[in-house]
């Protein structure tokens, strides 16, 4: 599955785990390109993620996300940071098989504190911390199932990137 154009690493995990931030650090350290599926969605749509959710709804966003992720898995050779809900798609989970998939795992408390002031559409709720906690609990087994490497996402982002590099080296050495 992992060919010349396949990503070196695909980052998954819940909102605030650092996929976007750590992904950039990781790509820099590995000397490869970086792309974020949310950024690519916004670029192609010419709209922000919140605008897409508001105008088109979540199901339409998920359909578009599935297509963009399929394209990036097929053609992006560097580090690919996914949006937190990309793995909800069965087809995306199937497409992830054979790729080095890193789950940035973290607690609801710390994760929520990182995104509580953001404009993430799923957190525009009456009790956003409860939504965050419940969705994380629901999704944790999915992230776990698609991952080939699980890293602790609590430390400083540079440390998380270093831990991913060490785990990738170990994984690559055993292949
Ligand atoms: N390891 C970390 N330590 C401290 N803050 C972090 C860490 N990783 C990410 N952040 C911060 O948390 C927020 C969300 O990070 P982001 O990379 O957008 O997460 P994700 O893409 O997984 O939703 C950003 O403000 C980012 O600077
Ligand atoms: O978990 C989710 O369903 C989502 C996560 C977001 O990305 P991050 O995980 O990068 O915050 C973004 O794709 C959208 O708001 C939906
Ligand atoms: Mg992100």
In Å, how far from its chain's centre is CA 22?
Answer: 10
Confidence of residue 140 (pLDDT cuts 50, 70, 90): very high
- DSSP secondary structure of 13-73: -STTSSHHHHHHHHHHHHT--EEEHHHHHHHHHTS-HHHHHHHH-HHHHHHHHHHHHHHHH
What pLDDT is stored for residue 173 in this prediction? 85
In the predicted structure, residue 160 carries a pLDDT above the cut 60: yes
What pLDDT is stored for residue 4 in this prediction? 61
Q: How far apart are CA 116 and CA 16, in angstroms?
A: 9
User: Is 64 in contact with 45 (CB distance < 8 Å)?
Assistant: yes
Domain ranges of the chain: 9-173
Q: For the CA atoms of 34, 107, 136, 142, what is the dihedral angle to 10 degrees?
A: 60
At a CB cut-off of 8 Å and minimum separation 6, what does 6 contact? 73, 74, 77, 99
Mean pLDDT of the chain: 96
In Å, how far from its chain's centre is CA 132?
Answer: 16
Q: Give the pTM.
A: 0.97
CATH of 9-173, one of 3.90.420.10, 3.40.50.300, 1.20.1260.10, 3.40.50.2300: 3.40.50.300
The CB of 15 under 6 Å from ligand 1? The reply is: yes
Instruction: Tell me, in angstroms, the distance from the centre of ligand 2 to residue 145's CA.
Output: 19
Q: How far apart are CA 64 and CA 72, in angstroms?
A: 12
More confident residue, 112 or 175: 112
Instruction: Tell me, in angstroms, the distance from the centre of ligand 1 to residue 18's CA.
Output: 4
ipTM field: 0.99
Give strand pairing partners of 105. Answer: 152
Nearest-CA residue for ligand 2 atom 12 is 83
pLDDT digits (tens, 9 = 90+) for 54-96: 999 999 999 999 999 999 999 999 999 999 999 999 999 999 9
Confidence of residue 1 (pLDDT cuts 50, 70, 90): very low
In the predicted structure, residue 167 carries a pLDDT above the cut 60: yes
Question: CB-side exposure of 49: number of CA atoms within 13 Å?
Answer: 17
Confidence of residue 168 (pLDDT cuts 50, 70, 90): very high
In the predicted structure, residue 48 carries a pLDDT above the cut 50: yes
């Amino acid at each position: 599955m992992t060919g010349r154009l396949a990503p070196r690493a695909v980052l998954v995990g819940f909102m605030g785990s650092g996929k976007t931030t750590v992904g950039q650090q990781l790509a820099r350290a590995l000397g490869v390109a970086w792309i974020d599926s949310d950024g690519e969605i916004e670029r192609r749509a010419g709209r922000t993620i919140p605008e897409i959710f508001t105008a088109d709804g979540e199901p339409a966003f998920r359909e578009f996300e599935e297509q963009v992720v399929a394209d990036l898995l097929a053609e992006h050779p560097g580090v690919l940071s996914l949006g937190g809900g990309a793995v909800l798609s069965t087809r995306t989970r199937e497409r992830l098989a054979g790729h080095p998939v890193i789950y940035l795992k973290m607690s609801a408390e710390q994760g929520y504190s990182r995104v509580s002031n953001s404009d993430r559409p799923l957190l525009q709720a009456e009790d956003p911390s409860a939504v965050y906690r419940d969705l994380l609990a629901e999704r944790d087994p999915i992230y776990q199932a698609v991952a080939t490497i699980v890293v602790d996402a609590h430390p400083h982002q540079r440390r998380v990137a270093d831990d991913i590099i060490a785990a990738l080296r170990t994984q690559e050495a055993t292949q």
